[in-house]
Amino acid sequence: MFAIVTDSTCDLPEDIIRKFRITIVPQYIMIGDKIFRDRIDISSDYLYSIMAHQNVVPKTSQPTPVDYISAYEMLAHFESILCLTPPKNLSGAYNSAILASQSVSTPVYVMDTNTISMGLGFIVLKSCMLRDSDYKVIPAIDILKQNILKIGLLFTVRSLDYLYNSGRVDAIGTLIGNALQVKPIIFIENGTPVIKTRVRTYQRALNYFLEHLHEVNRVGVFRSVAVIHAGAFGEAQRLLQHLDATFDIHNSYIHTVSPTIGSHVGPGAIGIAYEIE
């Protein structure tokens, strides 16, 4: 049997992490001269509160190779370890995981999932199901590579400032976008954030989500859908209720994004991750 490792940006709820025995390696959030371990030393609610009311701009950092070595060593009794990471062009977690794998005796297979948040979470859950069905790690990886192609993730933000601070949009685009209340619709495609379109209001962004899911539903059945948010539970709950009433979804979730992701998208961001059959 193989063990499963991922990082704190997978956005899976804690009860699922415990149930499926998933090992989480935390990313780091820096606020001033303080360093916090994601989802351990700092909660999403606390982060969004200080971002909204204290004009704080957090910085983030990937887990170190030493962090991964510690996780791998705790799992040394397994035949092998599968480590699932966010995209290498969004996080240095992949490189840290690779470097750490060279320092332990247990075979470690590191896989860039090309997605993040609950998109990564869905891949992690699929790996758990394969492990618990007695798949060996290499056949499981082959299946997961195909499963990645069935994952979609899109989101929008209330303010472009945080994306600008993280280097995702330029200063002029941020200034004009905020002045006009323009909301970008951002997809994660092949591990890269891509602004597909822009709409004039937050509500129109949510309407775009629904239109997109209708298009997806024409070619596939939804196995799982998650509404993810950064301190926007009310909007997220209403959106999920609408999705459950509109589509035939096998598994639906609502979850706050991790402090690491929240640091980049800012309070009020909301998105959808989905997996088709």
Listed in sequence order, the residues at least 6 apart from 246 whose beta carbon sits closer than 8 Å to its beta carbon are: 210, 213
Answer yes or no: do 233 and 101 share one domain.
no
Identify which has the larger pLDDT, 245 or 168. 245
- pLDDT recorded at residue 179: 41
Q: Residue 204: which CATH number?
A: 3.30.1180.10
Identify which has the larger pLDDT, 121 or 183. 121
Identify which has the larger pLDDT, 178 or 202. 202
Report the SS3 class of residue 188.
strand
Least confident stretch, 71-75, 164-168, 265-269: 164-168
Answer yes or no: do 87 and 187 share one domain.
no
> Under the phi-then-psi rule, with left for phi > 0, alpha for psi from -120 to 50, and beta for the rest, what region is 24?
beta
Amino acid at 244: D
Whole-angstrom Cα distance, residue 180 to residue 178? 5
pTM of the model: 0.93
Answer yes or no: do 256 and 243 share one domain.
yes
Q: Which residue has the tokens 């998933």?
A: 22
Identify which has the larger pLDDT, 163 or 29. 29
Average pLDDT of every residue of the chain: 91
Q: How many CB atoms lie within 10 A of CB 170?
A: 12
- pLDDT recorded at residue 51: 86
Q: How many domains does the chain have?
A: 2
- DSSP-derived letter for residue 38 is B
Q: What is the pLDDT of residues 142-195, one digit of tens each?
A: 999 999 999 999 999 987 777 766 554 443 343 334 444 678 899 999 998 888
Length of the chain: 277
* CA-based nearest residue to 163, from 55, 270, 264, 87: 264
Which H/E stretch holds residue 75? none
Answer yes or no: do 140 and 162 share one domain.
no
Tell me the angle at which helices 118-132 and 137-148 cross, rounded to the nearest 10 degrees: 150
- pLDDT recorded at residue 93: 98
Backbone phi, psi, residue 212, to 5°? -65, -45
- Token pair of 86, please? 């966010």
Answer yes or no: do 93 and 16 share one domain.
yes
Whether 99 is in a domain gets the answer yes
- Token pair of 151, please? 């994952």
Domain limit, last residue, from 148, 173, 196: 148
Answer yes or no: do 259 and 176 share one domain.
yes
Q: Please list the residues that pair with 156 across neighbouring strands.
A: 270
- Boundaries of domain holding 172: 151-276
Whole-angstrom Cα distance, residue 28 to residue 216? 35
